[in-house]
């Protein structure tokens, strides 16, 4: 089925999901502060997993490290997923890896574009950010109660108008030269996410596939966390999503958090 209109509403989403036998329940809102907050509210009220909250516009969209997520109203996909994976908190990055690969699959299916991944959780095309993923966990002690995976996928925005100081960004429109049906993209994203999520819950790991898509694989990078900077060659990720960095003395480091930049050696 091909869906051409870019407008989203609850009825159109529900009938497209039903037509493709996709198991998600989707709540659509024209405007929210952040889909993350609404998804946490629903999850805490006992909403089952495979529920997604979608908004056309956010007044307080957020990214990693308390950054703002900017997206013009009605152009892109802004959604948060409620998931309850059988993972320990230290394995939670497996979920982000599964979701990022699911989004790459969906973008490829809808547009033919090949997105790459940037550790820990960005999708890039041509070095520009196409999609950001934010995973927030709710835990009781060492037990993972639920995870909210927030996805900001740039679909139809012309980001040459983006506010200055944002990281270089791109969109499916900018890469392909034409608009996409947000409904088609949403439904395909949910379909691919469900496939990856079920595989994850069945015990599959994705680190080899993830490393193959990694934009910095084999490159010399710097990883910054606060004032700490580590540098070395990015040689892969392990099954729990830690970045494997080989320093100049050949020692392998397992990096759990940080921001990666390419390091040009002087
Ligand atoms: C990042 O790149 O730092 C992650 C960005 C995640 C943005 C999405 S947009 C939908 C959801 N709601 C939010 O407030 N944030 C996520």
How confident is the model at residue 165, as a pLDDT? Answer: 65
User: Cα separation of 89 and 113, whole Å?
Assistant: 33
- 243: which strand partners? 237, 255
Residue 113, exposed/middle/buried by CB under 10 A (0-12, 13-18, 19+)?
A: middle
pLDDT of 2 > 50? The answer is no
Distance 60 CA to ligand 1 centre (A): 10
**Confidence tier at 226 by pLDDT (50, 70, 90):** confident
Q: Which atom of ligand 1 is nearest to the CA of 36?
A: 12
What is the model's pLDDT at position 266?
Answer: 47
* Residue 180 near residue 5, CB atoms below 8 Å: no
Ligand 1 center to 63 CA (angstroms): 4
CA of 64 to the centre of ligand 1 (A): 7
Cis ω for the linkage preceding 182 (within 30 of 0): no
Pocket of ligand 1 (CB under 6 A): 34-36, 58, 61-64, 67, 69, 78-80, 122, 132-134, 150-152
Ligand 1: distance of its center to the CA of 251 in Å? 34
Nearest CA to ligand 1 atom 7: 152
Angle between helices 182-201 and 93-111 in degrees, nearest 10: 140
- Is residue 265 over pLDDT 60? no
Q: Tell me the CA–centroid distance for residue 147 and ligand 1, in Å.
A: 14
8, 60, 64, 134, best to mutate for ligand 1 pocket (most atoms within 8 Å of CB):
134
Find the mean pLDDT for residues 247-252: 94
In three-state secondary structure terms, 227 is coil
**CA 80 / ligand 1 centre spacing (Å):** 8
Check pLDDT > 70 for residue 5: no
pTM across the whole model: 0.94
**pLDDT at site 264:** 58
Beta strands at 25-32 and 51-58: parallel, antiparallel or unpaired: parallel
pLDDT in tens, 167-219: 799 999 999 999 999 999 999 999 999 999 999 999 999 999 999 999 999 99
Q: Under 8 Å CB-to-CB from 245, ≥6 apart: which residues?
A: 221, 223, 230, 231, 232, 233, 234, 235, 252, 253, 254, 255
Per-residue pLDDT of 102-145, as tens digits, reads 999 999 999 999 999 999 999 999 999 999 999 999 998 888 99
d(CA 196, CA 29): 26
User: What is the 233 CA–ligand 1 centroid distance (Å)?
Assistant: 28
Determine the 3-state secondary structure of 200 from DSSP.
helix
The region that residue 170 occupies, defined by phi over 0 for left and psi between -120 and 50 for alpha, beta otherwise, is: beta
Q: For ligand 1, atom 14, which residue shows the shortest CA distance? A: 61
Cβ-in-10-Å burial (0-12, 13-18, 19+) of 70 comes to middle
**Looking at residues 24-35, what average pLDDT do you find?**
97
What ligand 1 atom has the least distance to the C-alpha of 65? 3
Reduce the DSSP state of residue 159 to 3 states and report it: helix
């Amino acid at each position: 089925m091909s869906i051409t209109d870019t407008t989203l509403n609850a009825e159109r989403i529900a009938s497209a999901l039903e037509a493709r036998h996709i198991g998600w329940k989707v709540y659509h809102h024209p405007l929210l502060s952040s889909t993350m907050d609404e998804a946490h509210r629903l999850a805490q009220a006992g909403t089952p997993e495979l529920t997604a909250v979608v908004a056309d516009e956010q007044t307080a969209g957020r990214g990693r490290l308390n950054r703002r997520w900017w997206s013009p109203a009605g152009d892109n996909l802004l959604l948060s997923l409620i998931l309850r994976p059988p993972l320990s908190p230290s394995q939670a990055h497996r979920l982000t890896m599964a979701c990022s690969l699911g989004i790459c699959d969906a973008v490829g299916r809808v547009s033919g574009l090949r997105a790459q991944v940037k550790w820990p959780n960005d999708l890039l095309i041509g070095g520009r950010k196409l999609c950001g993923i934010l995973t927030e966990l709710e835990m009781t002690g060492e037990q993972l109660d639920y995870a909210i995976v927030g996805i900001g996928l740039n679909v139809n925005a012309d980001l040459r108008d983006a506010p200055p100081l944002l990281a270089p960004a791109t969109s499916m429109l900018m890469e392909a030269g034409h608009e996409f049906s947000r409904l088609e993209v949403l439904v395909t994203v949910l379909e691919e996410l469900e496939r990856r999520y079920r595989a994850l819950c069945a015990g599959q790991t994705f680190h080899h596939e993830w490393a193959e898509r990694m934009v910095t694989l084999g490159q010399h990078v710097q990883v910054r966390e606060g004032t700490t900077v580590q540098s070395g060659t990015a040689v892969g990720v392990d099954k729990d999503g830690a970045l494997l960095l080989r320093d100049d003395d050949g020692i392998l480091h397992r990096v759990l958090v940080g921001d990666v930049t390419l390091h040009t050696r002087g």
